[in-house]
Amino acid sequence: MTIFDPGLTQPVSRTNSSTDLNGTTASLGVLMGHVFRRSSGRGWRLRRRSMELWPHWITKLRRFVPDLALQTPLLQVAGDEATRVRFHDLAGQRQQLGLTTLSAAELNGIWPGAEHGGLRSEQDGRVDPLKLQQSLRLAVGELQVGLVAEPVEAVERHNAGWRVWRAGGQHDDFFAVVICAAMASSTLLAPLGHDRPMAPVLGQALRLELNNAAIDWHHWPAVLVDQGFNLIPDGPGRLLLGATVEPGTEAAEDPLALMRSLHDQAPDWLRSATVVEHWSGLRARPVERPAPLLEHLEPGLLLASGHYRNGVLLMPASAEWIAAELNHNLLITGA
């Protein structure tokens, strides 16, 4: 097995780079699995499976990064009465998964002004994406895996398998190839006759230092979601704030200001906070197809990309799907 990734030799860090980060590094690692509004279909099945697998992944990866953790719970604020009713119904259906509703009075000490209450998920939450990548790199280091820190320029059919061309002109031959290159996936697939366009969607995040308030994070959830914005305690007097907010590849100033104000509903202590760090990154969203793209396109050619806003959440289920498809492909070909 060989992994091709030009970022393999770069440290897992956001230091000295606020733009051009990959989706996982730029993300906040939020896991919104059990609060998914649908109760059927592939999207729900993938979320359920990932949430089942995450505790096992954390247990295994903690050997490499001991403070890696599944941080819970997640609290989603209802923005209107219709959402409150939907949350109430969802909690009734998924009590066994740890969903409960909170009234406006119960939320007042955490998020004043949430007049429609919210939904609390005991098992949803967050995984630190930087620590996750660090642990995965160390875990891969113990396996017999080739690591090539070069970009791939092309993939072509070759004999009964596939030839992978590197940017430097070298090539390697494989029985099977898994393409998981986000926006670049479309470029690699087009010459093979597979049309899988992706649209870039920019996500922005802030690390804030609170100036005029001493917030007791002990009463806070690991993640609070309001109007699609994620707020995450980040140590004494610090907060992470982020969301996937705009199409395209360039960060505009207005969405950043909107994120700071939460549509003019942010509390004073958040409005007055100082920005310590700001970064952004791109998510690949499939065009006219549901995310993610998990497809066995041809014998030995798999696509696992376009996870949009749920790359970290769906990582375990996607990895399980890839392993199953590769094993099945090997069995039916006898290779």
Query: Does the pLDDT at position 18 exceed 60?
Result: no
Domains of the chain, residue spans? 2-8+132-197+288-333, 30-40+58-128+200-285
Structure tokens at 80: 């209107």
Topology adopted by domain 2-8+132-197+288-333: FAD/NAD(P)-binding domain (3.50.50)
Predicted confidence at residue 329, as pLDDT, reads 65
283-326 pLDDT, tens digit each: 999 999 999 999 999 999 999 999 999 999 999 999 999 999 99
Q: Higher model confidence: residue 61 or residue 15?
A: 61
- Pair 155, 33: CB distance under 8 Å: no
Q: How confident is the model at residue 334 (pLDDT cuts 50, 70, 90)?
A: very low
Lowest mean pLDDT among 53-67, 214-228, 250-264, 288-302: 250-264
Phi, psi at 171, each rounded to 5°: -140, 160
pTM of structure: 0.93
Long-range contacts, 168-175 (Cβ 8 Å, 24+): 172/2, 172/148, 174/2, 174/300, 175/300, 175/330, 175/335
| Residue 170, pLDDT score | 96
- Over residues 122-155, the pLDDT tens digits come to 999 999 999 999 999 999 999 989 999 999 999 9
Question: Helix H segments across the chain?
Answer: 23-26, 42-61, 81-93, 104-107, 129-141, 185-189, 253-261, 268-271, 315-333
Q: Give the domain 30-40+58-128+200-285 fold.
A: D-Amino Acid Oxidase; Chain A, domain 2 (3.30.9)
d(CA 240, CA 256): 13
Residue 334: left (phi > 0), alpha (psi -120 to 50), or beta?
Answer: left
Burial of 332 (C-beta count, 10 Å sphere; 0-12/13-18/19+)? exposed
* Percent above pLDDT 70 for the chain: 93
Whether the per-residue pLDDT at 335 is higher than 50: the answer is no
Q: Which of helix, strand or coil describes residue 275?
A: strand
Over residues 86-91, the mean pLDDT reads 98
Q: Assess whether pLDDT exceeds 70 at residue 184.
A: yes
Two domains, one topology: 2-8+132-197+288-333 and 30-40+58-128+200-285: no
pLDDT: which is higher, 245 or 71: 71
pLDDT single digits (tens) 217-237: 888 999 999 999 999 999 999
pLDDT value, residue 19: 55
Of 139-153, 186-200, 246-260, where does mean pLDDT reach its minimum?
246-260
Determine the pLDDT at residue 246.
Answer: 67
